Amino acid sequence: MRPLVIAVSLSFALGPLAAAPFARAQPSLPPSTSPAPGSSAAGNAPTSYAPQTKDFLAEVSEMGAFQTHLAQMGAKAKSADVRKFAADLSNSRSGGHLLQIGGAAGPSEVSQAHQTLLKDLANSGASFDAKFVAIEVDALKAHLGLVQSYATGGVNGQLREAAAEAVTDTRALLTTAQFLQKPA
């Protein structure tokens, strides 16, 4: 309670000067013209909300293992479009590239939560294609959030640049998955 009293008292004492820094909206560029995260235009200083490098690499590794299993399962889809998408997932190298730059081992074990999703997918029967695409949309959104956070604020400059490249690749895959998710 004491910090609130001090803050309120300070704002009364300073009057309009206390609110001045917060009164002006900060201009921002539209997303399409913003500098790429980690680029020299964006500045290479890390921010405080990115995962630690070892945690980032561990998560990339687990996601890579999960995506490998998903892509193998997706190769058995009924829809030719879904099978092609699964092949595109198999050919995506961004996770492996991040691990290589970070000096981490290849794909790790699949987490228990992801193992459950894989089992559910294997038992989905006629709804396999729709379930596969739905799982991919969620997985790609999670991966996109992870690489964006590291690209924006990771401490390893080379890995941060590779994460920025992975953002582009992941967005392309996510766009395709979302397209496949829409009813025909």
Q: What is the pLDDT of residues 48-92, one digit of tens each?
A: 467 888 999 999 999 988 999 999 999 999 999 999 999 998 887
CATH number of the domain to which 60 belongs: 1.20.1260.10
Residue 24 inside a domain? The answer is no
Fill in the DSSP letter of residue 125.
G
What's the pLDDT tens digit per position in 129-142? 999 999 999 999 99
Identify which has the larger pLDDT, 73 or 100: 73
- 3: enclosing H helix or E strand: helix 2-14
Residue 120 structural domain: 47-181
How many distinct structural domains can be found in the chain? 1
Rounded mean pLDDT, 13-35: 37
- Outline where 123-156 has alpha helix (H): 128-153
Residue 168 inside a domain? The answer is yes
Predicted pLDDT of residue 125: 93
State whether residue 151 is helix, strand or coil.
helix
Residue 29 inside a domain? The answer is no
Q: What is the DSSP string of 158-176?
A: HHHHHHHHHHHHHHHHHHH
Residue 21 inside a domain? The answer is no
Statement: residue 179 has pLDDT above 60: yes
Residue 9 inside a domain? The answer is no
Residue 151 inside a domain? The answer is yes
How far apart (Å, rounded) are the C-alpha atoms in residues 160 and 153? 8
Residue 128 inside a domain? The answer is yes
Residue 30 inside a domain? The answer is no
Record the pTM: 0.71
How far apart (Å, rounded) are the C-alpha atoms in residues 105 and 85? 26
How far apart (Å, rounded) are the C-alpha atoms in residues 59 and 101? 15
